[in-house]
Structure formats: structure tokens, C-alpha cells
Structure 1
């Protein structure tokens, strides 16, 4: 029993240190995933709600940060290449698709990307996202 507890603590520490290099978006995804996962874990574990909440929060944070990473990478690739980008899970039941979105009334220099997430060929999420590339201006002689 004590070995299992040590492994859990080590795993949580590794997950904590692995997320320190996250961007703001990764942190938001991990936070949302931890909140939902913690609540679900606490409700599902009948014997020990704390244990279920901790496990659910850890798994939810990891899943939330991963989904945010896929979303950021896919939208940036679609904006840079002006071509659709598709990611599929290994089992094939989850699909992420990012298409360049052309808006005639665009008032910014940012590019827009339409993101769609499918679960078992059913649309789960559909949003239009702006992807802005940073520009640097140097006042050098």
C-alpha cells in the first residue's frame, strides 16, 4: 500500500513539474480540466471522495493541457499554411479539424481559423479563433 502511495506522489510531482513550462493557454486548459475532473472523481468514488477528487483532478489537468496543446498547434499550422489541418486519436473516435477562415470584414492583421472537434463523428465543439503572429519593431541605427 505504501509503495502505491509513493508512486502516486511521484507521479503527481512529475506532472506538476512538467506543467511549469506551459503557456497561459495550457494553464487555462489544465485548470478547467482539473476542475471538471476533480468534481467527477469526487462524485464517482463512493468510499473516499478526496481520493477520487485528487485522481480526477490530476487526470483532468493532464487531459485539458493536452487538448489545449492540440488546439494551439493545429490552429497555428492552419493559419501559417493556409490549408486545413486534421488530427485524429489513435483509436479514431476523436477528430480535431482546423480550417482557415476567410472574413472579408477583417479589421486586424490576424488570421482566423475555424476549429471543430468531433467525438464519434458527432460535432462537439465549433469555434472561430484568431491566430496572431507577433511582430517586432526595433529602433536601431
Structure 2
């Protein structure tokens, strides 16, 4: 019982510094982890659901938080950014690649790798508050005068 309480406190502590997107990802991951844990632990499905829920929430919330940070830094630095999830067992790597500008927003391509295998590609729109600092005479792709 004490282990369960400690695991719950650790799970909540990890998620307290997350964004809204990370919370939503953690909820989805927790639900999926609970379902899988309940199926895998035949002796005590409640225990499996609890443990699976905590692990799923922490891992998924972490991945969502890392991918959001990578996309934002990719736009800020105007170059590709690579992040690794060291908390994840599967060695998840997230690569954010800057794309085209759409007004004050930039389309960023996020590539998710598990080890060296590409497992998912996703596009995310990242908006900036100020107009991007373009060099004199340079026109971003897709913009014409």
C-alpha cells in the first residue's frame, strides 16, 4: 500500500510542471496504460491498472512536453532541434524540423523515433507574438512581394 501511495505522489509531482497539452497527453497515456496493465496482471487487475496508469501517464506526458518544447525552440532558433526522452525506456528521440511560414505561425514537422526506427511524423503549428526577424532582402518560402 505504501508503494502505491509513493508512486501516486511521484506521478503527480512529475506532472505539476507540465503544460495543458502534457496534461491531456498524460490522461490519454494513463487511460491506455491502465487498460493494458489490467489485462496483463491476471492475478490482480486493479494493481496492474494502477501501475500501468501511472507509468503511461508519466511517459506520455513527458513525450508531449518534450515535443512541444522542441517545436518552440525549432522556431526560435530557426534550425532543426533534437531531443531525447531519457525517462522513457524505449529511447524515444524527437526531431523538430522548421517548415514554411503561414502568417506569424510556422509549420514544424515533428519526427518521433524509437531507437533508430521512425515511428510517427506529425506537423505542428507554432505561432510567435512578434513578426519573425527576417534578414534584409530575404523572403521566406511561400511569400512574394
Q: Same fold (TM over 0.5)?
A: yes
Q: Which secondary structure state, in structure 2, belongs to the residue aligned with residue 102 of structure 1?
A: strand
* Structure 1 residue ranges without an equivalent (≥5): 136-141
Q: 1:21 to 1:70 in 2, by over 3 A?
A: closer
Whether the 8 Å CA contact 2:104–2:129 is kept in 1: the answer is no
Q: Distance in 2 between matches of 1:30 and 1:129?
A: 19
RMSD: 2.1
Whether the 8 Å CA contact 1:93–1:121 is kept in 2: the answer is no
* Structure 2 residue ranges without an equivalent (≥5): 131-145
Larger mean CA deviation between 113-122 and 92-101 belongs to 92-101
Which residue is 2:8 aligned to?
12
| Aligned-pair CA distance for 1:94 | 2.9
Which residue is 2:109 aligned to?
114
Render the CA deviation track for 1:64-123: whole Å, top value 9, x for unaligned: 1100111011001101111001123558943210000125xx2x3111110000113222
Whether the 8 Å CA contact 2:34–2:49 is kept in 1: the answer is yes
Pairing 1:34–2:30 present: yes
Which residue is 2:134 aligned to?
none
Q: Which secondary structure state, in structure 2, belongs to the residue aligned with residue 83 of structure 1?
A: coil
Q: Which secondary structure state, in structure 1, belongs to the residue aligned with residue 109 of structure 2?
A: strand
Which residue is 1:101 aligned to?
99
Q: Distance in 2 between matches of 1:89 and 1:71?
A: 10
| Aligned-pair CA distance for 1:132 | 1.5
The TM-score normalised by the length of structure 2 is: 0.78
The TM-score normalised by the length of structure 1 is: 0.80
Deviating 4+ runs (over 6 angstroms): none
| Aligned-pair CA distance for 1:15 | 2.1
Pairing 1:59–2:59 present: no
